[in-house]
Structure 1
């Protein structure tokens, strides 16, 4: 007996969802209870957790949201075939039907259905899907995002140094995305003068592919590829969440590791980045107001249904001074265990001023560098485990996300 295929339906129309559900129920090769989503975010989460074989997404005249969803689906559920559903209104309102369909194909749609959908048409589509040779799960890179509730906690320094340390182990396999759009300092921390930035990515959005993405990066001597932040706040306004989604989707097909430095504001761009994040590092310090903000940030991640076992907390620039909070006090303040404690080290500041990663500046036996190496080991473990087992990185077994090595 052949395996029944799981289908995801994404449309804001309740009546259309019901109609398609009833139609799918009459097809023997389809699971009796299709997954149904009323918006793109719900559809993305269902695809992430349930990995359907087929996703039917309604296309409207404004195809950008659906095209963005198709790109995101290809990243989080690479074995899901995305099919567009075209209603008569689409053809009536679309200024250039062929142009929109071509753009949709480029974004990840594999086929289209015309409404009203007949049972025969849907069965034929599923038959074609079933006859395709079963391929092994796509090998995609992992996304590690460094986030914080405020600036000045060393988030950018950590993301840059972690990325450089990874690149030293895997030259040309690590991409650093400086998504701190208005305050990006990654290029400065690496003493690089990029000729292209995320603004150029926005300008080339319609023809962006893996080759062009790599060409828009600047290479550091460690082997790290940097996609730099815009040069100024005005240029930063041109970089949208759709563009960053496209960057991460293509980046995961090109690189093994994508490290993201984020802006310390929780907005639509941050949410879009988290949608494609394998592991999020909340960076904070052992100062009460900062810790309270970090606790609020962790609670917000929980409200957004970001998996708690994919979140790790980093206490940066820790000093065990009289009157300062210890690890247990910090854990009590934020309501969860601390995963990493990186000590204060003046060499980190000196390295930043010189535009040199700490791996090039500090001897290996200094404590900050030793803990950073353990952090990088854990990032390496995520990618190594997913590759050796052919699993999708968002769905790693619990033992690889719930019990990370704690930096001492």
Structure 2
């Protein structure tokens, strides 16, 4: 945990030189540290003493309770011995002084980790930890939900692994309509029991899609804005990670800190953009926000949707003007996308041979191979028939049932 970009880079360089294979995570918000640590189960936690929102000893005290088997170490200024003593009294195993000396830093870390070895140390061997992928858009209308839904099904079919989707667009939820799902339970059922979640409760709330996809629905939009706290987000995502290989979150507008809490839980962020100027301006602003909050650039994948639309900005111009790499492009076929949404059948299932479905399939293969060591296997499923229900009845049935219940 550090707000200094220079300190982050220095620690990353030292660990790359001395530590061998490792995974390094940075937490942008100190108040999420304890919950994120419970999620990641780290061997080592480094805390800088120069955090604006919370004193280092307070953070250490929370971390010791959350992850008692982890080594907590504080990094202090040469004149900060008082803070170092408080941190050790709060449960830190040791401290190092800044500016960091590479060899001294690594010797201290190595000694503390060696002393902390216990027989049952490798918790990851018995605990299933899935990957979290958050789909986000710089504005509405980028096709975020369409890309997220079809990519989820493609990943599930290609890898044979379990996938759960979370509808986190509480102002304008869409997964129930896009996937033709009925359900009288949603995330509201879990919020009151967020600190006491278990597999059976969560599984009972998830909706089932015919493809095998599981979905945590958002409340019907008649409820208005959903109040969800940062700890609740962390607890729910953490439980889902232990139950599924992939957790795909369809995130709405970043209106409050709960949105960033979902982003903090992400292993990867996929940003869907369309080739028009308002969206591209907002894309640059959102990328700058993510960078300022410490999200690594290599974990943010920009995907161009509706590529080739008449009058649209070209991929090369987008990359040149925004100084960003566009990872993949999905061609424009708005009539097919609208048909897919109205039928409630993802086009990856219903129109597998279409250019859009093939592009999503290619993206899923690229994403799986780029984020894991597992190769993807592509199979050709039969095209699904349209559901018998009318699209308007599907759109309004959850609202009607909710209103009747009230």
Q: Is the 8 A contact 1:184 1:229 kept in 2?
A: yes
State the alpha-carbon separation in 2 of the partners of residues 193 and 347 from structure 1: 23
Q: Of 31, 36, 42, which aligns to 1:72?
A: 36
Deviation at 1:214, TM superposition (A): 2.2
State yes or no: 1:368 paired with 2:356: yes
For residues 159 and 78 of structure 1, the distance between their equivalents in structure 2, rounded to whole angstroms, comes to: 29
C-alpha deviation, 1:164, in angstroms: 2.2
CA deviations on 1:248-295 (whole Å, 9 max, x unpaired) are 212222111111111123531221111121111111111111111111
Q: 1:232 to 1:126 in 2, by over 3 A?
A: same
- Give 1:251's match in structure 2, choosing from 240, 247, 251: 240
Matched, 1:149 2:113: no
- Cα gap change, 1:149/1:132 in structure 2, threshold over 3 Å: closer, same or farther? same
1:207-251, Cα deviation, whole Å (9 max, x unpaired): 212332222211111110100112236464232232122122122
Q: Is the 8 A contact 1:202 1:239 kept in 2?
A: yes
Distance 1:219 1:72 in 2: 28
Deviation at 1:298, TM superposition (A): 1.1
Match of 1:315 among 285, 304, 318: 304
Distance in 1 between residues matched to 2:209 and 2:274, nearest whole Å: 29
Unaligned runs of 5+ in 2: 24-29, 47-60, 73-85, 95-111, 376-406
Q: How far 1:38 sits from its partner (Å)?
A: 8.8
Give CA deviations for 1:74-124 in whole Å, capped at 9, x if unaligned.
Answer: 323444589xxxxxxxxxxxxxxxxxx9xx96x65569x9x896799969x
**1:182–1:230 Cα contact (<8 Å) kept:** no
3-state SS of the aligned residue for 1:153? Answer: coil
Secondary structure of 2:220's counterpart equals coil
Q: Which residue of 2 aligns with 1:332?
A: 320
Tell me which of 267, 278, 287 is aligned to 2:267: 278
Alignment map for 1:8-407 (pairs within 5 Å) = 68-80=32-44, 129-135=116-122, 137=124, 139-169=128-158, 173-232=162-221, 234=223, 236-321=225-310, 323-345=311-333, 346-362=335-351, 364-382=352-370, 384-385=372-373
Deviation at 1:172, TM superposition (A): 6.9
TM (norm. structure 1) is 0.66
* 1:194 to 1:172, Cα distance in 2 relative to 1, 3 A: farther
- The answer on whether the counterparts of 1:76 and 1:276 sit within 8 Å (CA) in structure 2 is no
Offset at 1:383?
A: 5.4
In the alignment, the residues of structure 1 paired with residue 139 and residue 174 of structure 2 have an alpha-carbon distance, to the nearest angstrom, of: 15
What is the Cα deviation at residue 354 of structure 1? Answer: 0.6
Aligned residues: 318
Q: CA deviation at 1:379?
A: 3.0
Provide closer, same or farther for how the CA distance between residues 298 and 200 of structure 1 changes in structure 2, counting only shifts above 3 A: same
Deviation at 1:170, TM superposition (A): 5.2
Q: Work out the CA distance in 2 between the residues paired with 1:121 and 1:307.
A: 27
User: What's the Cα RMSD here?
Assistant: 4.1
| TM-score between the two structures when normalised by the length of structure 2 | 0.66
Verify the 8 A CA contact 1:174 1:224 in the aligned structure 2: yes
Unaligned runs of 5+ in 1: 1-35, 54-64, 83-100, 388-408
Distance 1:207 1:131, change over 3 A: closer
Kept in 1: contact 2:291–2:297 (CA 8 A): yes
Contact 2:195–2:235 (8 Å) recurs in 1: no
Once residues 291 and 92 of structure 2 are traced to their aligned partners in structure 1, the CA distance between those partners, rounded to angstroms, is: 41
For the residues of structure 2 that align with 1:283 and 1:140, how far apart are their CA atoms? 26
SS of corresponding position for 1:197: coil
Partner-residue secondary structure (3-state), 1:131: coil
